[in-house]
Every structure is written in structure tokens, then in C-alpha cells.
Amino acid sequence: MDKPSRRTLLIAVLAFGTALAGFFVGRFSVPEETEPAFDAPLIGIASLSSADYIRAVRESGGIPVVLPNTDGSVARIDDYLALLDGLLMPGGADIPPSEYGEEPHETVELLDDDRFHFEKALISAWMKKTDKPLLGICLGSQWINVASGGSLVQDIPSEFNVNHRDTDHLVTIEPGSRLSRIFGATEVEVNSWHHQAVRKIGDGLRIVAKSPDGIVEATETTDPDRFLIGVQWHPEKLMPDNTTQAKLLEAFVDAAAEQKKKK
């Protein structure tokens, strides 16, 4: 089968799976006017906890592809690495603290085994074997740090006596960072739904945003040529009304589109 036909078949199969996943989440629809172009970048979404991720990728010009974590199988990960143009690691429950050498705090709610084993293998392979764009949101941001050898604050409220769940607050962004260039600002307001955050920064990463109480809110790679960003907030929940937060998803999809041109 030639390459265009193979891609057509792939998109048709994965689009059906993505639509089905969105249906079971309960909030998925595909308005015809927002359909991305056929040659748009394929954006993998590692697991699905909300159809907001599908909608945000689609509205930013990408083709969303939900990756199945059924049975924790890692058999097709190399195929995903070859076919996808970008990877979005979404929010969810907590990474086992044993991954960074700690016993779990009483507030920790572990990822289910299938999702944990799949996402651990996927993000490790993506970061080590490709230079393709990667965006981590909430848990996804924590995955980036842990996969890079970093550690986490297991429970912000009990350790810092502050709340970062179901609230809004400002974050200050490091001048000159990729994130500050994307937003065109060094201070933005964000939503907040997390009880964990980066403690020890992982290898090859740097902290680029913090909340007023000192909690790490965003990291990015130290490689200036790669798009690799993790944020603790949920820009996908604020789209499309919040045009500032939409810039992050748009920049991510644009970076994936540039990556696709290199194939």
C-alpha cells in the first residue's frame, strides 16, 4: 500500500476510535466546520479522561488520536512513535511514588495499572527515541519530570498549607523561556486542579513558571530546538474562550506540523 493510502486508512481507523472514546466520555461532537485538513499533524493523546483534549487539539488544527492503554500493552508504541507528529500527555490520577524512590502519602490516588504501565513506556520512548513535540498537562507535566529522573511533592496542601485544587491563580513565567514567548507575557492567570507538583527537577528540564506561593507550575526542556513543555494547569478546559491559553495548544500543534514536514 502506498504512503497516502496508508495514511488515509490510519486516520480513518484512529478517528473512529477517537470518536468512540469521546462518545463514552460523554461530550464529543464533531462540527463539520472545525474539521482539520487532511494533511494536519496527527496528535496522540495518551489515554482519555476528558473530551476537552480532543476538542482542544481539533480546534488548534491537529487531528486528535486517542491511544488505547488496554491491558497496559506497549506492543504498538514504536508504531505510534513513527506515525504521530506530536504527543499530548493528559491529566489524571497520581504516579506511584516508588517511581521516584518514595513511599506514598495517604492522599495519593494511584493511576490504574494499565494506564500506568502504558504511559510510563510511552513517554519514556517518546522522550528518548524522538525529538517530536511533547505537551504535558497536569499529570502529564508530572510524567515528564518523573520520566526525566525528577521527583514530586506528593501533597501540596499538607506540605505547604495551600490549596491548588478547584481554584484560579496567577503564575509568573521565566522571561526568555519558550512558554513566555508563546504567551507573549511573563504573568498569566490559570485554572488549578492539582495536589502534586515538581519537587526535584528532572535531567534536561528547567523550571519556567511558579505560582505566588512558590509551587512549580511549568517546566520545559533545556534543548532550544525542541518543543517539550509541561504545565500544571488545564488550558484545554479554558478553550476556546480564553484566547491566551489557546496559544499554548496552537503552538504545540504548529510545532507538530513543522515536525510533520520533516518526514
Q: What positions carry a catalytic annotation? A: 138, 234, 236
- Going by C-alpha positions, the residue among 225, 184, 233 that lies closest to residue 56 is 233
**φ and ψ at residue 240, rounded to 5 degrees:** -95, -5
Yes or no: say if 257 and 37 are a contact pair by the CB < 8 Å rule. no
Q: Where are the beta strands (DSSP E) in 52-164?
A: 63-67, 86-89, 134-137, 152-153
CA 43 to chain centre: 10
Contacts of 124 (CB under 8 A, 6+ apart): 147
CA 93 to chain centre: 14
What one-letter code names the amino acid at 58?
R
- Going by C-alpha positions, the residue among 224, 221, 222, 197 that lies closest to residue 210 is 197
Q: Are strands 165-173 and 187-193 parallel, antiparallel or unpaired?
A: antiparallel
173 CB burial (10 A radius; 0-12, 13-18, 19+): buried
Sheet with strand 42-46: strands edge to edge: 63-67, 42-46, 86-89, 134-137, 228-231, 216-221, 205-210, 165-173, 187-193
Instruction: Say whether 240 sits in a helix, a strand or coil.
Output: coil
